[in-house]
């Protein structure tokens, strides 16, 4: 399965409210579900929010970012979902430096990998 890292707004570093962070997590999770239904293996880093909720103060934001950077490098591509996010921008920059394909549209990502299958 193609591993897709989902990069997008979360908001903790930008001072988003708990409700805004929840909305961003939900949006990213729904994108992950769409990818899963189309045969991909999505990684949704926004779901780390559950650890923050149940274990507040246990992990520092910088620790999460370092973990996420390792996941970016382990994935086959990155899907950048819309919205301002310094963290997602860092992840996209890392992907570009690692020559990992970056997509800004789920349908284009799917078309790319479907075409890749047909060339094999």
pLDDT of residue 43: 94
pLDDT of residue 120: 44
Highest averaged pLDDT of the listed ranges 8-22, 74-88, 103-117: 74-88
Mean pLDDT of the chain: 85
Structural domains in the chain (count): 1
pLDDT of residue 119: 44
Domain hosting 8: range is: 3-119
CATH code of the domain containing 77? 3.40.50.450
- Look at 84 and 63; give whichever has higher pLDDT: 84
47, two tokens: 């779901």
pLDDT at 91 over 60: yes
């Amino acid at each position: 399965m193609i591993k897709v890292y989902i990069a997008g707004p979360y908001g903790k570093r930008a001072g988003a409210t708990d409700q805004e962070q929840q909305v961003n997590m939900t949006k990213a999770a729904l994108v992950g579900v769409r990818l899963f239904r189309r045969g991909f293996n999505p990684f949704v880093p926004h779901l780390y929010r559950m650890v923050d909720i149940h274990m507040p103060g246990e992990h520092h934001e910088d620790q999460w970012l370092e973990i996420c950077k390792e996941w970016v490098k382990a994935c086959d591509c990155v899907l950048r979902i819309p919205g301002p996010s310094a963290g997602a921008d860092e992840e996209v920059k890392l992907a570009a430096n690692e020559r990992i394909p970056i997509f800004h549209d789920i349908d284009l990502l799917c078309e790319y990998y479907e075409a890749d299958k047909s060339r094999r």
